[in-house]
Structure 1
Amino acid sequence: MTMTSHFRPGGMPLDLSLVESVRVNQPAVRRRIDSLNARRSQKKDWQAAWLVKAIQCMDLTTLAGDDTPGRVARLCAKARQPLRRDLMAALGLDALQTGAVCVYHEMIVPAVRGLQGSGIPVAAVSTAFPAGLSSMETKLREIELSVQDGAQEIDIVISRRHVLTQDWAGLYDEMKAYRAACGEAHVKAILATGDLQTLDNVAKASWVCMMAGADFIKTSTGKEGVNATLDVSLVMVRAIRDYQALTGDKVGYKPAGGIATAKMALQYLTLMKEELGNDWLQPDLFRFGASSLLTDIERQLEHHVTGSYSAAHRHAMP
């Protein structure tokens, strides 16, 4: 299932009194995350099943200055078959693919070509990613051109200044404009949580973006000094849970940046299951923003099948 099959949240009018009332109990957040870190992870067949789920929920990503159509084509081939055939057979898998491929605007056309017929959507980062400091006119046009070129998902970056100055109306209007520019494409709102200074700000920004119709809220561009963390993730998924209780809408979640090991992936999947339930263990409501994560998951699955760890270069990314 790709995110494009997901029922789109409708959004709601900006409720400033609700936003201003949001508070995060930081000691409680810390206790919850400490309890998650202290647990033993799943083992054997259970672990393998969860790691396969992580692959299905992965936005396989390349966002480098030296990206080429050839590199993107190889990444798309990896997205279509993320595991070797012998491992697939040993795990009893007939088919497996990632949730999406995420690229810059210039690489959308080769990505669409590389994924043709697979059902895997192309996600494009947009709105002057990663800083988001171009003019609004430029950012909206970038979204429109990316959708025109075939992107089915748009990862936008919010203007952090709106959060840092508590201009919630400004953030709401910006997000509404991005939502409108996306048309039929789904939109993931990147909060760049490492730049937002406080967990209260993270929670309030999450609420405002959901009110404005974001299909997903996402932690990071991967370019900040601090990217996805479990603390921030707990705050954001509980905002999603409370928003659903208020509106009935299900908003997706995407942690991105710094999630490089299978163990970390298992922690995030556990958090999603316990806080939001099984619906959020599907790619239409949960994604990892990942580039190197797949390599470690492949190594762990090969160990599960053969009893031996292989060298990382045997699972090299494009």
Structure 2
Amino acid sequence: MLDDARLSDIASSEASLRRFLHGLPGVDQTGAEARAAALATRSIKTTAKQYAIDLAISMIDLTTLEGQDTPGKVRALCAKALRPDPSDRTVPRVAAVCVYPDLVATAKEALGPNSPVKVASVATGFPSGRTSLAVKEADTREAVAAGADEVDMVIDRGAFLAGRYGEVFDEIVAVKQAAGDAHLKVILETGELATYDNVRRASWLAMLAGGDFIKTSTGKVAPAATLPVTLVMLEAVRDFREATGRQIGVKPAGGIRTSKDAIKYLVLVNETVGDDWLDPDWFRLGASSLLNDLLMQRQKIATGRYAGPDYFTLD
């Protein structure tokens, strides 16, 4: 068990942090990919599929992160987050709406006071993370002051890949402090980390530094979320809870577009970490186009026919 004293010792120097991270068990690449592929073949039918679709909807961070985003687009996204299908009140709300810091206030106003849908905001020089710590802290404080419930920060992958683990650790700690009561999701940008061993090390680094969630990707780099990478991250949060007693969330983001994709991730969660993580508080799906496919599949189960592609609003 890693108690507070041991955790402080691990983070006390660059050398001790490096020693701990490089002492983690290596990832069996072939084994991880084979297990993820095997779990992806699981078939879910009828009522179980309906439950999985509703659960996936409730886990979505409905996202718009484009240079052309406008207040009107964000308001429309918030309306959809609250009522994904205006014709069916039994459809659950999504977990959060994710926007740039300058549109947080717009989203907060559109969702209304005490909304069950959270406002998440990317910060810290998204998507590259290549800016000064002072700018990252200011970016975070701006988002939280505007009403963000959650902050999605990006790590400096250049620093991580150069082995400057202490620098990355200190930045996460500082951003966590700047975020205050807001939950901090740490984006690893796994598509740039090159190996599963690096994904495991980055996951542990983010958790040791105080992240509340670890997130695969910005959605701006390919490959984004993949099942094997998410499996490695799920194993990391499982092992971290066993070692510290602290539960951390996981968020795959980018490239998850269909109901079939989403259900594969839910199966992966259930088989790797269990029911404790099958909850929007502990597992999210970062997506912009996934919701419509889930709604179409849901309607197919209810009516026996698919809606037309223009039945639901575009995200």
Match status 1:35 vs 2:38: yes
Q: CA deviation at 1:126?
A: 0.3
Tell me if structure 2 keeps the 8 A contact 1:296–1:312: no
Equivalent of 1:207, from 204, 208, 218?
A: 204
Match status 1:104 vs 2:100: yes
Paired letter, 2:213:
F
1:64-83 correspondence to structure 2 within 5 Å:
64-83=66-85
1:12-23 correspondence to structure 2 within 5 Å:
12-13=7-8, 14=11, 15-22=17-24, 23=26
Paired letter, 2:37:
D
User: Which residue of structure 2 lines up, in the alignment, with residue 196 of structure 1?
Assistant: 193
Paired letter, 1:109:
A
Q: Output the CA distance in 1 between the equivalents of 2:131 and 2:185.
A: 19
Q: Output the CA distance in 2 between the equivalents of 1:58 and 1:159.
A: 26
User: Which residue of structure 1 lines up, in the alignment, with residue 283 of structure 2?
Assistant: 286
Superimposed CA distance per residue, residues 199-243 of structure 1 (whole angstroms, 9 cap, x where no aligned partner): 111100000110000000000000002100001001111010010
Q: Output the CA distance in 1 between the equivalents of 2:225 and 2:92.
A: 26
User: Which residue of structure 1 lines up, in the alignment, with residue 55 of structure 2?
Assistant: 53
Q: Output the CA distance in 2 between the equivalents of 1:115 and 1:313.
A: 24
Q: Output the CA distance in 2 between the equivalents of 1:228 and 1:316.
A: 25
Q: What percent of counterpart residues are identical?
A: 43
Tell me if structure 1 keeps the 8 A contact 2:224–2:254: yes
User: Which residue of structure 2 lines up, in the alignment, with residue 173 of structure 1?
Assistant: 170
Q: Output the CA distance in 1 between the equivalents of 2:300 and 2:7.
A: 48
Q: CA deviation at 1:272?
A: 0.8
- TM-score normalised by L of structure 2: 0.93
User: Which residue of structure 2 lines up, in the alignment, with residue 6 of structure 1?
Assistant: none
Match status 1:311 vs 2:314: no
Tell me if structure 2 keeps the 8 A contact 1:12–1:213: no
Larger RCO (CA under 8 A, 6+ residues apart) = 1
Match status 1:25 vs 2:21: no
For the residue of structure 2 that corresponds to 1:154, the secondary structure is: strand
User: Which residue of structure 2 lines up, in the alignment, with residue 3 of structure 1?
Assistant: none
- TM-score normalised by L of structure 1: 0.92
Tell me if structure 1 keeps the 8 A contact 2:99–2:120: yes
Superimposed CA distance per residue, residues 24-76 of structure 1 (whole angstroms, 9 cap, x where no aligned partner): 11111022012112322x11121011100001111011111111111111110
Q: CA deviation at 1:85?
A: 2.9
Q: Output the CA distance in 1 between the equivalents of 2:241 and 2:159.
A: 24
Equivalent of 1:131, from 128, 139, 159?
A: 128
Q: Output the CA distance in 2 between the equivalents of 1:156 and 1:12.
A: 22
Instruction: Count residues in correspondence.
Output: 302
Superimposed CA distance per residue, residues 152-200 of structure 1 (whole angstroms, 9 cap, x where no aligned partner): 1000000001221122212111111111111111100000000111111
User: Which residue of structure 1 lines up, in the alignment, with residue 14 of structure 2?
Assistant: none
Equivalent of 2:149, from 128, 152, 161?
A: 152
For the residue of structure 1 that corresponds to 2:69, the secondary structure is: coil
Instruction: Output the aligned Cα RMSD.
Output: 1.5
Structure 1 stretches of 4+ with a deviation exceeding 2 A read 11-18, 37-40, 83-86
